[in-house]
Structure formats: C-alpha cells, structure tokens
Structure 1
C-alpha cells in the first residue's frame, strides 16, 4: 500500500523537527552534512520518531541542495549527502511499515534577487533526481514562502515522477500568503497542478494553523497536511526556544483532523514527545469526509485619497522637471536646512529630496524633516535604504510616510555601515532595493509585507537609483530593466561629470519606459573632487574635470567658479537629452544649486522646448 492509498482511509502521523533536536544537542552547523559525519545521530532521531508512532518520516535533506550547501562549501556533495540521507532513513525503518518521504526545502523568502528561479529549478532537479532514484515513497516540498517558487517546483517535479508529492506553503499571517493570495486559493492551485497532498508548515503554531485551515475547503482529489510549529518562538539567553506542552499540541492535532487534515506532523520546536502525544490522540480515528468551512472575513481595502500633486514620473514625460537634493543636517541645528529648502522650492524645484543617512552617517531623520517641510508647503522626497531597518521597521516607516502624505520616495540599498561614522554598527539588508520596490508596490495594493490586508491602499510613486558610472553601461541598463519589472516608476542617476557620458546614457536608455533624471552636482574644491572620484561609491570624474579643478587648487573663489562652470557645461548637454534634472546640493551650499536652477531656466527660455529620453 502506497502513501496515497493509506491516506484514503487513515489519518497518518508524521515525524517532527530534525533541526530542533540537533540544535538542542549544541549542533548548529550544517545539519545535512551530518548525514555523512554523524549518520548514527540522524538514525537515532529517525528511530525515536518511529518509536513515538510516526507513520511517515522525512529524510534529512531539507537544505541538501547546491544553493544552500554552498553556504558551507559543500555544493559538490549534493549526491553523497542525499544518498546518505536515504540510506539512513531506510535503515531506521528497516522492517517497519513507515513511509519515507524526501524533503526539499524552499529557498526564497522575501528576498529574491540573490538567486533566480531558473537557478533554483536547476538545483531542485539535481536533488530530486537523487531522491527519486533512491526509491522513496514520496517527496515533501516544505517551508515555501514564495508561491511562484513552489508552483514552478511542483510543475517540474510532476514531469519527473509519479510518486506522491506533498506541497506545503508557509504563512506569516493565518490564512494568507506573503503575496496576499488566500490559503484556500493557493492549495486549490497546488492541487490542480498535480500535488497529491497540500498543506501548511512552519512559522505558525497550532492555534494559528487551525485558524487558517478553518477557511480551507476539502480538496476534491488531494488530501490536506499540516506540520505546525510547537508554538510561537521565543529567545532565551540567546537561544531559540518553543514553549509548548505536548498535551496541548495533541489536542490541536485532533482539531486539525476535524478540519480535514489527514497527514499531521510537526515543524520547529516539536520532538518525539509531541509526536507520541499526537499518535495517541489520533489512534483509530478515521479521516473526515465532509466539513463546513468558516467564511473568510472579507476586509475592505479602500482606495487611497487622490493626490494633490502629480507624480514626477508623469510630469517629466512631457516637460522639464527638476529635483533638488538637500541633505538633512548631521547636527541638531536645522534652520539653515529649512531656509535652503524654502529658497530652492520657491525658485521652482519640483521637490526637495533628502538622503537616508548617506554614507552611513547619522543625520536628522528625513521623515521628520519631510513633515517639517510640509508645514511650510514644500513637497519632499525621502530616500529609504535597506541598510538601517529590518522588514518590520521598513513597513512601519512606509506606513508613517503614507500617513504623512509623503508619497514620493527613492528606494536604495544604502551604503554599508563600515564606510560611515559607526563602522561596527549592523547593516540589516533584509531585502535589496529591488525587493523593497516590489514591497512598496504591494503596499499600494493595500497588502502588508506579510500578505495581510491593510484596509487602505498606499499611494507611493517609487524612484530607483541608477549608477551610469560603470565600465559596461549595458549591464547597468539591464539592472534598470529588472527594477522596472519590480515596479520602479522612474530613475534618478548618480552625478555625471562627462558630456559624452550623458549622450551615451541617452542612447542606451532611450527605449526604456521609465524616465530618468540625470544627476548633476557642482564641485566646491579640488580636494572634494578627489574625494568624490576616489572614495565615494558610484561617482567617477573625468580626467578633464579633475585637471580643471586641480588648476584652481587653493583658491576657494576660483574653485567655486570652476565647479559652477563645469556643472553649467554639463547642463548644456543634459537639458538637450533629458527632461529630468537632478541637482545635488554640496555641503548645504544651496547658493550653488540656485545658480544652476536659474541657468536651467535660461537654457529652456532660449531653446523653447526640450527633448525627452525614451
């Protein structure tokens, strides 16, 4: 009798966590490598679950793929590790009648750009071929947060084998996936693709797992599975722990059965004691054939209030638009900043842009300064970096910006902390700028990063950074195309110091659907020019510009005049090819920026029309 046939008439008990037990033994390195280095320990854990009553055990192969093993330099040992895992599991079962399923774990979470889907599918194929050749009883796809990764993996495996496949999603919020799709809809899609068993595992404890499954219909062809965590996790003396009484977990297993689940195991925090209690609770119980689903509570997502300002990416497509960057102070005196913003905005700037602790040095919060500028009737655009905030902080920050009606933002990855005032500070980087753009656009749909409805849509216009100061411009343009796919509305470039480079940028980007603001930053001295050229990431000056500034070295007035002259020459070219101009104010010298704004007006009056990139 196979796994599918057994589930027709029985509720089966699966095993619990492998990593939790290994972690409890003080073993926190690559658990899959232990198939080779500690096979007796892996067999012992399998045997303990079997003795506890598990009908189904999974191979110790959750992370036994080339991508995950590469973190430990073990990517060349995929075959050996997976084959050893199968051998150990079969030895533990021996003459028993337990089913052995091969575990394949999800790779993508919120962060997606590190590994492409094609790379994932290639490594899945490699691992799956080994597991299938090992003549196991089924494959378990577990802990998948990214639904596209799971569906594409399932499609691939269904072309490779007819053995049972269990496809399980993981949720951050009960009943909904990260992308906002409802659990019931997700499981139905997995069933239609060809999964024999569909369900959930990890992240949530029994209470929320049951809550999520109350809204799930019984599949027509597949069966339901659930592997909840023992509880919500806690941290005690630096170690992850799960507080859960086995009796409580067993009672939850009974409720899972009442929700139609036929394969019940455990994920993080569960032990053989939990599985023993589940087995006793479920002994001799038949699976239910019908259930009444709990109606899902519909959350009305309101449309955002209409903006009282036109998004810049719309305006710049038809006419001149100027963005001014004015960094917030590195001290507590903000009057000069506010005064500069007033002058530049009155002169005709469309928006005042504020970096987010540029060069990893603390400055007055740009969200606070944005609120202050708004009180003065000044439209502002804060940068948001991925460096300083985890996902919780990023979403909270964005929700605050939306509440303040600061709808124009630039999403950037951010300079690493080691370049700034506190080199020992932690760089977070939960996501890259590309994923951040996607998440911001998800907020525009009224959906949290976790997939939960937010009752109202945000209304952000999202700019992305563009560094054209690279050897191979085509590669930089390819990154722009990827950022457009992630949802970028327009781009703002690093400062450019060559007229030829401006023309090259125009030719390379003219077919892009998203407009570009070209960055121009006046130089204040030869020393600052050398600093920018040699030390600031993403900025390169031409030899001609460096020589011109060097010729003025030591004469502050001449250096300032030459810096302005160079910027004006660059504007002569930039305004011919781009509607969008991005002026970066150096060291709060807004008098420099004011001169350049006036020069742009003069050029536009002379030409009576401008060209548009793309």
Structure 2
C-alpha cells in the first residue's frame, strides 16, 4: 500500500511549511501530489521540485487544456532536469478569465503525448466516479489505458459500498483511492451540486466522521492491496493526518 497526500501550491513558503509538518510528524506518506491551479503562481512541477527537496517522491498534475498539441510539452525540460518521473494528467477546468489561453485538448491526447515525447515518465490519469454512469466511466478508463496511463487517482469517495463496486470493476488496476474531508453544510452543497455526490445516510460534516471514514478507507486499501490518496481540503493538515494515522 502506498499513501499519497495532495498539497496545494498556494506559495512556496506555505508549501514548504506543510511538507516540513509531514516530515516532523513522520506521517507514512510515500508520495506528494501537487495540483496545477491557475490562481496560484507556483506551477505544479515547481511544487514537485520543492517536495523532492524535502525528501519526498512527487507527482505534479498536468492540465490538458493548457497544452497545445502542435508544440512540445512545455514542462518537458523542467521535468527532465529535476528528475521528476511521475505525472497525473487531467483535462482541467476552463479558466475564470479568458486571458488565460486554453486549447481543445483532452487528457487522452496528453497521456499519448507524454508516451511519445517522454516515454520514461510514468503517466497517471484521473477517475471521476460522479461524472456519469459506471459503464461510461469504465469506457473513459479503458481509453486512458490505451493512451498509456499506468494507474489512476479517483475523486474522493464517501461511501465504502460505492468503493467496493468500483474495486470489483477495476480489479487488477493500479488505483489510488481518494478521500477528502467535508466539514460544513456549504461544502456538502458544493459536492452535491457541483460534483453530483450522493452522501451516505450516516454522513456528518464533522472532522470526527471524516477521520473515522478515512480509517475505514485505509483498511479497505490494505484489504485490496491498493493505494490511498488524501486530499485534506479545508482541514487542518496535522490534525486530520494525526486522526488517520494515530
């Protein structure tokens, strides 16, 4: 079992502090995921370099929308020179401001582009289990495997029964099962309306419920010989992680 945690690159000082907190508390983290977010100046691959400097294996997220298929991968030299060997390719959300140029590029295009231009890179892809039916999502997964994806990171789960259904469908695949704390009614509404999540009947937007669920997911991934992907959105990093790994 490998455990990954996602850290937001708000700025390099904040990111360095969070990385140091993980080291100081000796949390059993194998991999740091760094998303590419347009509202922050630090690119995901720059955040990945910082994570490496703190002794972690790191994986930057690559937004397909930002990449012109007619040009070489813009982060190619940076990844090579800093020995960043793993990336997570997602399509990405359209920018709030059209001042940021985007392209009609989808994730399978960029997975294939990495496969062609940087075959030494391990390319992972996303699973969005709320986007459509399981059958349609399985089709997307198969397309990504054909393009060259070697593993997957899911959106956060909140129900073990749903995870079991996906685990049966994805048996034999290299999966990082996502979890993320939801700590307010406002966040519940966001996940329900924006991401089509259906929370289980016993769900409570409390740190206690989310920590208990995270522990169950840790048991789940151990049982399935799989991996765990922690996204501590809007939660105190140390308090949440201590609850999971106590």
> 8 Å contact 2:158–2:200 — kept in the other structure?
no
> Residue 337 of structure 1 contacts residue 588 of structure 1 at CA under 8 Å; is this kept in 2?
no
* Greater CA drift, 586-595 or 366-375: 586-595
Where does residue 594 of structure 1 map in the other structure?
Answer: 241
Checking the alignment, whether the CA contact within 8 Å between 1:466 and 1:476 is kept in structure 2 is yes
Q: C-alpha displacement at 1:394, in angstroms?
A: 5.8
Match of 2:59 in 1: 381
Distance in 2 of aligned mates of 1:588 and 1:562: 13
CA RMSD, aligned part only? 2.4
Q: Gaps spanning 5+ residues in structure 1: where?
A: 1-319, 446-458, 550-558, 600-614
Q: Equivalent residue for 1:540?
A: 197
State yes or no: 1:515 paired with 2:174.
yes
The structure-2 alpha-carbon separation of the partners of 1:593 and 1:403, relative to structure 1 and needing over 3 Å to count, comes to farther
> Which of 314, 321, 325 is 2:2 aligned to?
321
1:351 equivalenced with 2:31 (yes/no): yes
Task: Kindly state the Cα deviation for residue 531 of structure 1 after the two structures are TM-superposed.
Answer: 1.7
1:467 is matched with: 128
User: Is the partner of 1:582 in helix, strand or coil?
Assistant: strand
- Displacement of 1:337 after TM fit? 2.0
Higher relative contact order by CA 8 Å / sep ≥ 6: 1 or 2? Answer: 2
1:402 maps to which of 80, 97, 113: 80
Distance in 2 of aligned mates of 1:471 and 1:365? 30
Rounded to whole Å, the distance in 1 between the matches of 2:243 and 2:59 is 20
Query: Which residue in the other structure is 2:223 paired with?
Result: 576
Matches within 5 A, 1:435-454: 435-445=109-119
Q: What's the CA shift for 1:410?
A: 0.2
SS at match of 1:340: helix
Look up the match of 2:45: 367
Number of matched pairs: 244
Counterpart Cα distance in 2 of 1:363 and 1:544: 40
The verdict on how the C-alpha distance between 1:541 and 1:569 changes in structure 2, with shifts beyond 3 A counting, is farther
TM-score by length of 2: 0.87
Alignment partner for residue 567 of structure 1, among 214, 220, 228? 214
Map Cα deviations across residues 363-393 of structure 1 (whole Å, 9 max, x no partner): 5222222222222222211000012232466
Q: CA deviation at 1:475?
A: 1.7
Q: Is the 8 A contact 1:322 1:582 kept in 2?
A: yes
Please give the alpha-carbon distance, in whole angstroms, between the structure 1 residues aligned to 2:42 and 2:155: 22
Give the number of the structure whose alpha-carbon radius of gyration is greater: 1
Q: Is the 8 A contact 2:67 2:74 kept in 1?
A: no
Structure 2, unpaired ranges of 5+ = none
